[in-house]
Structure 1
Amino acid sequence: AHKGVQSAQVKEHRTAVLDFIEDYLKRVCKLYSEQRAIRVKRVIDKKRL
């Protein structure tokens, strides 16, 4: 019975970790694309001058 409880906890922990990583990656990608958009805009603005 003890092993069953442990594996359930491990599974729960893995799910939590994966959720966290997924959330983190989404935020990083969002930041990255925002930064890139700002850089692209700057380049375009410079070309216009």
Structure 2
Amino acid sequence: MVARFPTLIGAVMLVIAGLLLFITGIILDVMAKNDRKAFIIDANRFAMMRRQK
């Protein structure tokens, strides 16, 4: 067993926080990529609508 439980608890909390931040970063990266694609598609649609007038 671990002789210093506060250190163990702190280390586990840091690992959990790191995993949460890593997963959050992946989610935000995917959302940013999707928003960028949607913006480009909307900009192209708007440009096509302006050309048709």
TM-score between the two structures when normalised by the length of structure 2: 0.84
Q: Which portions of structure 1, spanning 4 or more consecutive aligned residues, are displaced by more than 2 angstroms?
A: none
Taking CA–CA contacts closer than 8 Å with sequence separation of 6 or more, which of the two structures ends up with the larger relative contact order? 2
1:48 to 22, 47, 51: 51
User: What is the percent sequence identity of the aligned residues?
Assistant: 14
Larger radius of gyration: 2
Please list every run of 5 or more consecutive structure 1 residues that lacks an aligned counterpart in the other structure: none
TM-score between the two structures when normalised by the length of structure 1: 0.90
Please list every run of 5 or more consecutive structure 2 residues that lacks an aligned counterpart in the other structure: none
